[in-house]
Structure 1
Amino acid sequence: MLRNLFNKRILKFVILIIIMFVLTRIPASAAIPNLDGDTHPNRLKLSECLIDLKNVADWDGEKALEAARNICELRQNHAKQKARFLASQDQLTKIYKDWKRFNQYLPTAITDSWQIVKSCIDFKEGFTSTHNIESLTLPEKIRSECYSLGADFIESHLSMLRKKYKSASGG
């Protein structure tokens, strides 16, 4: 009985070590948090935007079409800025992954860049109150701005890095 209990504990310990090892080997880019909340950057068709508009406002005709187009445009910009942010993270990873001096900081840098975007969203949403169509448009605007801020932050670092090494190489 003692031996059986001992074997179960050893097995649990080995499993725990394996899980910890696997989790530490997952690249930081694989852990993409969902900061989209109630937004829908993937619902880009005019018909989808119109349906969503009808859920929050009882508008018809040209006014509804114009509002739906605006919602779709905001969603497209949200998706574009998010893609730009993800691409800047990928560039950061590609540049630093082989630098032994810096690659240990990549997971933290990626996590921190997500935190910058999240903090921006939390800050802006904390000071907003929406109703009607704003419940569809304002969150999209906020996410576009915050993803853009995150991308600008990373891209400014990458630009500085490129200038530094371009001038150092004499080019």
Structure 2
Amino acid sequence: MLRNLFKSRVLKFLILIVTMFVLTRIPASAAIPNLDGDTHPNRLKLSECLIDLKKAADWDGEQASEAARRICELRQDHAKQKARFLASQDQLTKIYKDSSRFKEYLPTAITDSWQIVKSCIDFKEGFTSTHNIEDLTLPEKIRSQCYSLGADFIESHLSALRERYK
């Protein structure tokens, strides 16, 4: 009997409608792609950075400590710029989500802003060659710069919008 229910066109139609309803209720900012690759913006403790450094370079003593601190700083900046980018997307969403004129473009704008960051990362990584500690530092720098670029792009639009409606 259960098989007959699943074969039923009505049940399939209802499942399709419910699925479409659920998917359209997920905010665009919920679909966050992972652009972090091999970076670790959440490993911010000096001990974690030191462990990661030891995997990439055979350094000891003060040289290792200083390099680990630098890695942690870059990871913190990466995390900060990513948070700034996400916050700017949230601001954009808040402003346009109820706009009858622009809300249909909002999902595309959010997707496009992610694409800007991804393209920036792909471009910069395409022209780099790393070894040793650069394997840890350069990807963090690149992501920090690219998230900053994405945030700047959205924030410039929001700033222009505020100026327009003063």
Q: Place the TM-score, normalised by the shorter chain, in its bin.
A: over 0.9
Question: Could you tell me how far apart the structure 2 residues matched to 1:12 and 1:103 are?
Answer: 30
Question: Could you tell me how far apart the structure 2 residues matched to 1:163 and 1:54 are?
Answer: 50
Counterpart mapping for 1:10-159 below 5 A: 10-159=10-159
Question: Could you tell me how far apart the structure 2 residues matched to 1:89 and 1:67 are?
Answer: 33
Whether contact under 8 Å (2:28, 2:107) holds in the other structure is: yes
Question: Could you tell me how far apart the structure 2 residues matched to 1:7 and 1:132 are?
Answer: 59
Question: Could you tell me how far apart the structure 1 residues matched to 2:146 and 2:109 are?
Answer: 17
Whether contact under 8 Å (2:5, 2:11) holds in the other structure is: no
Question: Could you tell me how far apart the structure 2 residues matched to 1:42 and 1:7 are?
Answer: 47
Identity %: 87
Counterpart residue type for residue 55 of structure 2: N
Deviations 1:18-55 (A, max 9, x none): 21221122110111111101100000010000000001
Query: What's the C-alpha RMSD, in Å, of the aligned pairs?
Result: 1.7
Question: Could you tell me how far apart the structure 2 residues matched to 1:150 and 1:91 are?
Answer: 13
Question: Could you tell me how far apart the structure 1 residues matched to 2:42 and 2:15 are?
Answer: 39
Counterpart residue type for residue 110 of structure 2: I
Q: Which ranges of structure 1 fall in alignment gaps of 5 or more residues? A: 167-171
State the 4+ residue runs in structure 1 displaced beyond 4 angstroms. Answer: none
Q: Indicate the SS of the match to 2:8.
A: helix
Offset, 1:117: 0.4
Counterpart residue type for residue 80 of structure 1: K
Q: Indicate the SS of the match to 2:139.
A: helix
State the aligned residue count: 165
Question: Could you tell me how far apart the structure 2 residues matched to 1:107 and 1:127 are?
Answer: 31
Question: Could you tell me how far apart the structure 1 residues matched to 2:8 and 2:76 are?
Answer: 53
Offset, 1:15: 1.4
Counterpart residue type for residue 131 of structure 1: H
Question: Could you tell me how far apart the structure 1 residues matched to 2:94 and 2:45 are?
Answer: 34
Question: Could you tell me how far apart the structure 2 residues matched to 1:101 and 1:145 are?
Answer: 32
